[in-house]
């Protein structure tokens, strides 16, 4: 827990474009730590299923001038194998360092005053060919 407060890469994945308030978060750190969580936004709050187990695996390589992090997320009954032309909501984030100099990178920036990645309505589209 709290991996998101450290150096980490994150993938947010909503495989049902009709229900973007249900999505998955995957995180991996350079030191090999990782987490996966199923998330559901209700009108009242964000519900996080910490018992969710995607069976993801991760790998990282730390070099003097770069870090490479890989995540393998298998198809299963939560995350189905996509069909041709299927569209999923997706976003990618990179959190670097710690406060007060913490930095954030995003494929689709959420543009919130305080960093908030949990905005599935602004995730980008991943279209399967």
Which numeric CATH code is attached to 3-127?
A: 2.60.40.1190
pTM tops 0.85? yes
**Domain spans of the chain, in order of start:** 3-127
Pick the closest to residue 18 from 76, 88, 97 (CA basis): 88
Q: What is the largest CA-CA distance in the chain?
A: 45
The pLDDT tens digits for 60-91 are 999 999 999 999 999 998 999 999 999 999 99
pLDDT score, position 22: 97
Are the CB atoms for 7 and 96 separated by under 8 Å?
yes
Phi and psi based region of residue 65 (left: phi greater than 0; alpha: psi -120 to 50; beta: remaining): alpha
CA distance 91 to 107: 6
pLDDT band at 129; cut points 50, 70, 90:
very high
Q: Are 109 and 28 in contact (CB under 8 A)?
A: no
Q: What is the pLDDT of residue 4?
A: 75
As given in the structure block, the two tokens for residue 30 are 């350079």
- Pick the closest to residue 41 from 116, 94, 108, 111 (CA basis): 116
């Amino acid at each position: 827990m709290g991996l998101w407060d450290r150096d980490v890469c994150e993938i947010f994945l909503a495989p049902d474009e009709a229900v973007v308030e249900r999505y998955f978060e995957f995180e991996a750190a350079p030191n090999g730590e990782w987490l996966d969580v199923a998330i559901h936004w209700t009108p009242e709050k964000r519900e996080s299923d910490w018992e969710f187990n995607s069976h993801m695996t991760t790998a990282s390589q730390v070099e003097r001038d770069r870090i490479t992090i890989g995540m393998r997320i298998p198809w299963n009954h939560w995350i189905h194998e996509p069909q041709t032309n299927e569209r999923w909501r997706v976003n990618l984030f990179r959190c670097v360092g710690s406060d007060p100099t913490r930095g954030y990178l995003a494929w689709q920036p959420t543009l919130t005053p305080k960093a908030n990645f949990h905005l599935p309505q602004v995730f980008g589209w991943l279209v399967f060919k």
